[in-house]
Structure 1
Amino acid sequence: WPPEIHKRLFGELPIAKFAAGGDAIPPRRSEVRSIGGYLPSIHFDLTPQERKPPLETVQSAQPEADAKKMLTAFLPKAFRRPVAAEEVEPYVALVTKRLAAKDCFEDAMRRAYVAVLTSPEFLFHPADVTREAAPVANAKLFTLASRLSYWLWNGPPDDALLAAARDGSLQRPVVLHREVDRLLADARSERFIRDFADQWLDLRRVNETVPDPQLYPEYRFLLHEGMVAETRAFLRELIATDAPVTALVRPGFAMLNQRLAEHYGIAGVNGVELRRVALPPESPRGGLLGQAAILKLTANGTTTTPVKRGVWVMDRLLNEPAPPPPPSVGSIDPDTRGATTVREQLDKHRSDASCAACHAKIDPAGFALESFDPIGGFRKRYRSTGKGDAPPEKDRTVWKVNYKLGPAVDASGALPE
């Protein structure tokens, strides 16, 4: 004590009891309340002083000098570049003004820090800000360092990256490549993996649908967590091994734990930790298109939607976004009773001339994934709440099964010439 974040703001200045009775305004404190109230056995064991500790604050014998010292150290970190003395002065003047208004030193400094953290120099990248102060040496390299760290870490550059910008070495390709590798090897790059997967692959939408528990009783928390983690771990593995772009669809491996491997029908994987598992050549898994998270977010929770999956493939993998449907054309309602298949419903839908041209491009990619159900399980027949056959005995011994096996899945399709 005090914690590291406090030291970044106030250095090694002492913390002492606030001297009441003077004209200084006490430091502002937010009262902390327990959601569930006090536990009597603990509360009554405390002395009155312990129940309401004395008000303490940061003490400074030379407030203006200490303010200048701390702000001079803080601004380069906040602005992610060297800071001229004249840039520090307005913030020091703010501290002086607040001290003259009888704020205590701690609150006066907090006002200055708030001003720094709401300034354009902090909120925007350097290239987006027009500066009137003296130009910064290697300004473009500091901009590069800032953009690089916010891209791969979603946070400010560290001292090593700033040092490479300061001495100019960051402009050398070998140094730039080394810094990129270093940033990617750091645990903070998980923020990049998460954001990249959420934005590019739409992984942030994976929770928008909830599979029907009657049709998919095996869908539980551990399976859901594993399928989402798989996609992120897969992207991390591709980056770490510098895999070719073809590995996005045919990598020859999958990132699995025991529950996910069971879901995929792959034996020999034990434990909750994801690890790289080689896939047999005949496996339908491997790559983004065989991952349960992708297959779930491109379904609707009850049935698969070849149109939705086809649009996803065209947009996210082929960079050929499909045009929006005509406003007068309705959606296809899922039939969980097993009376009609999705293909039969789409055949009727494509009879509309205004739909046929686009569906000829969209549907084949979606139907190629029709052997995967809404939670990414491989199937040969649709599940139904109505007509159909009883599922295999092995499925009924593991899960409480209330569904039937309906029509056979047809995953065939042909792309237009």
Structure 2
Amino acid sequence: MPRLSRAQLMNSLRFAIARALPNEADALWTKLTPILARYPTDQRTPAPGDLKGGFSRLDQSIQQTQVDVMYDLGKAVAQELTSTDARRDALLGSCASDSQTANDRACLETFIQGWGSRVLRYPLPTAEVTAFADIAGATPVDRAAVADVITTLLNSPWFLYRVEHGTTVGQPVSPLSAFELASKLSYQFWQAPPDDALWAAATDGSLLTESGFNAQLDRMMKSPQLRSSLDEFVSEWLRLEELPSLVALRNDPVYQAFVGARMPTDASRTAMFEDVQLSAWNTVVSGGSVSDFLLDRRSYTADPFLAAIYGVPVWDGFGPAPVIPSQNRSGLLTRAALLATGTASTRPIHKGYLVRNALLCQQVGAPPPNASDRPPAPTDSMTTRQVVTQLTSGGSCGGCHNNTINPPGFVLEGFDALGRERGVERLYDPQGHETATPPVDTSADVWLYDSEQRVISSAAELSRMIDDSQLFGSCVAQHYFRFAHARVESTSRDGCLLSEMEAVARSGAPMADLLKTVAHHPAFKQRSFP
């Protein structure tokens, strides 16, 4: 009985409102904004041994704040949907306002059977329809009474959780019902309740057939609604939100000198995120592989500031996205979202850890207790690399930094703290006056595993090295497993599925097939209490 994530719950509320009053749904949603803002954000918990990362779907905690806000949301939605006789009549039909009263109970029950079943995501049996209708008492079409029913429906466990009973009573492993399977598919790939087509496939039973299931899965994979889930996966996997504001230091003289005449905006930061997300999306819809995503050199931005960094025209969102001309822009590693820092200095340690942990799934030891949490910054006479080397190459730090963390980060020093390509590093005094422009040293001895070690000096070489190792494909598979299942994998329990996912990711097959592998595995269609 997994709790819906915040994103899934919000989408479910919007679905409920849109099914009730489709022509007024947007206006009603806007009215809920103050209450929506109070609902807690799901917390990301790194996997054991990781220092960062994790997926918000893994947060299954229940806070009193969530309960309180959800009650307030349910009540507010109910009051809005029944605020006038016209809105109530739109929900219940003409039987709510005709001169007869004998049909009022049946009028309310029909609404519960229709709207309530779709909101709770299973066909309500007669006994449950009766129980919900009883809440309205002796005045079943009174606006306040109908509001009480709606509030209760929206606070039902069937609305707040994805309930799975299965179809075999008393067994530890049980096939899911058609409606349970429909919900699992829709929340996995769309972050939302089943649409009409998926609901119809559950109703007529075709979803439980191999051909019917595959038809729905293929349809869902081609739908724009897939982007919501894919965007969340990519953003959390690559930790895009770790990029600070690009305008917080706009009054700092060093930052002003570093940026130059054109200051980025908050929209530029958002565009950097979308550039990565759209690269993944276009890889999936075009039939590209995991490797294609890693090496994608197209720019997916309509933001002039980011487009200027890449040296391309803005993209209008239609037709092929422009190819970034510089051969040093090797794909994912050189997208601005993974390079920018919100300051005037780069973060080789951060980038090195990201490569190791998020792209290669290699664990790095925790820093010693006395390690500074302030990123090393260049001085008016020392480059970023020199400062980082001086601070991390000796003592207890050297083992991890010299061989594991720093080298990939140093290779990416050919790009500055906005993601702009550079051959020299401009150093400044505290007043923002340029003091020196030493050449950037991007050479490093990089190992990925065992004997796979060589000296490289460009992001393109690092990208090819990562791609050739096939570790990236394995790592994407592991991260997507965690995202899809909302838990960390168990070797004994999940080894077969992980092996299948890894094989797909490393084979050059479409990236979409990796996503579909999760749904095709027998465990996806079962309820299990291990």
Partner residue of 2:128 out of 87, 93, 99: 87
Report the CA distance between 1:287 and its aligned residue: 2.1
Structure 2 Cα separation of the partners of residues 10 and 365 of structure 1: 54
1:97-118 Cα deviation digits (max 9, x unpaired): 6x39xxx711111111111111
Report the CA distance between 1:178 and its aligned residue: 3.3
Partner residue of 1:253 out of 298, 313, 337: 298
Structure 2 Cα separation of the partners of residues 167 and 56 of structure 1: 36
> 1:26 aligns to what?
none
Does 1:408 find its partner at 2:439?
A: yes
Structure 2 Cα separation of the partners of residues 227 and 242 of structure 1: 23
For 1:307-322, list aligned pairs within 5 A: 307-322=349-364
Higher relative contact order (CA 8 A, sep 6+): 2
> 1:236 aligns to what?
281
Structure 2 Cα separation of the partners of residues 330 and 409 of structure 1: 25
Structure 1 Cα separation of the partners of residues 419 and 125 of structure 2: 57
Does 1:148 find its partner at 2:185?
A: yes
> 2:112 aligns to what?
71
Report the CA distance between 1:325 and its aligned residue: 0.4
CA gap 1:120/1:223 in 2 versus in 1, 3 angstroms: closer
For residue 322 of structure 2, give the secondary structure of its aligned residue in structure 1: strand
Structure 2 Cα separation of the partners of residues 375 and 345 of structure 1: 20
Partner residue of 1:264 out of 295, 298, 310: 310
Does 1:341 find its partner at 2:341?
A: no
Q: What TM-score do the two structures reach when normalised by structure 1?
A: 0.73
1:217-251 Cα deviation digits (max 9, x unpaired): 33423543432221111111011012111123223
Report the CA distance between 1:330 and its aligned residue: 2.2
Structure 2 Cα separation of the partners of residues 261 and 168 of structure 1: 49
Report the CA distance between 1:285 and its aligned residue: 1.6
Structure 1 Cα separation of the partners of residues 442 and 228 of structure 2: 36
> 2:228 aligns to what?
191
Structure 2 Cα separation of the partners of residues 8 and 168 of structure 1: 23
Aligned AA (1:372): F
Q: How many residues align?
A: 346
Structure 2 Cα separation of the partners of residues 339 and 10 of structure 1: 65
1:289-345 Cα deviation digits (max 9, x unpaired): 11111212xx35231111111111112111113222010222455445431122222
Structure 1 Cα separation of the partners of residues 374 and 160 of structure 2: 46
Structure 1 Cα separation of the partners of residues 391 and 415 of structure 2: 22
Structure 2 Cα separation of the partners of residues 385 and 378 of structure 1: 18
CA gap 1:214/1:138 in 2 versus in 1, 3 angstroms: same
- Calculate percent identity across the aligned residue pairs: 25
Q: Which runs of 5+ in 1 are unaligned?
A: 12-29, 31-54, 388-400
Partner residue of 2:404 out of 351, 361, 365: 361
Aligned AA (2:439): A
Report the CA distance between 1:71 and its aligned residue: 0.5
Aligned AA (1:382): E
Structure 2 Cα separation of the partners of residues 235 and 271 of structure 1: 16
Structure 2 Cα separation of the partners of residues 379 and 243 of structure 1: 30
Does 1:158 find its partner at 2:195?
A: yes
CA gap 1:406/1:161 in 2 versus in 1, 3 angstroms: same
For 1:120-159, list aligned pairs within 5 A: 120-127=157-164, 139-159=176-196
Structure 2 Cα separation of the partners of residues 182 and 232 of structure 1: 21
1:107-146 Cα deviation digits (max 9, x unpaired): 11111111111111111112279999xxxx9843322211
Greater Cα radius of gyration, structure 1 or 2: 1
Structure 2 Cα separation of the partners of residues 5 and 79 of structure 1: 9
Contact 2:336–2:418 (CA<8 Å) still a contact in 1? yes
Contact 1:254–1:277 (CA<8 Å) still a contact in 2? yes
Structure 2 Cα separation of the partners of residues 373 and 228 of structure 1: 17
Structure 2 Cα separation of the partners of residues 272 and 335 of structure 1: 37
Q: Which runs of 5+ in 2 are unaligned?
A: 1-14, 23-30, 32-82, 89-95, 250-254, 452-530
Structure 1 Cα separation of the partners of residues 241 and 373 of structure 2: 23
Structure 1 Cα separation of the partners of residues 445 and 165 of structure 2: 48
> 2:240 aligns to what?
203
Structure 2 Cα separation of the partners of residues 128 and 367 of structure 1: 52
Contact 2:346–2:417 (CA<8 Å) still a contact in 1? yes
RMSD (Å), alpha carbons: 3.3
Structure 1 Cα separation of the partners of residues 156 and 203 of structure 2: 23
For 1:98-109, list aligned pairs within 5 A: 99=139, 105-109=142-146
For residue 198 of structure 1, give the secondary structure of its aligned residue in structure 2: helix
Contact 1:304–1:370 (CA<8 Å) still a contact in 2? yes
Contact 2:379–2:429 (CA<8 Å) still a contact in 1? yes
CA gap 1:7/1:109 in 2 versus in 1, 3 angstroms: farther
1:154-197 Cα deviation digits (max 9, x unpaired): 11001211222233332444443432332243333332233122
Q: What TM-score do the two structures reach when normalised by structure 2?
A: 0.58
Structure 2 Cα separation of the partners of residues 370 and 384 of structure 1: 14
For residue 368 of structure 1, give the secondary structure of its aligned residue in structure 2: helix
Contact 1:370–1:409 (CA<8 Å) still a contact in 2? yes
Structure 1 Cα separation of the partners of residues 187 and 17 of structure 2: 24
Structure 2 Cα separation of the partners of residues 70 and 112 of structure 1: 10
For 1:386-405, list aligned pairs within 5 A: 386=429, 403=434
CA gap 1:278/1:347 in 2 versus in 1, 3 angstroms: closer
Aligned AA (2:411): A
Contact 2:383–2:427 (CA<8 Å) still a contact in 1? no
Structure 1 Cα separation of the partners of residues 240 and 179 of structure 2: 32
> 1:393 aligns to what?
none
Structure 1 Cα separation of the partners of residues 235 and 16 of structure 2: 30
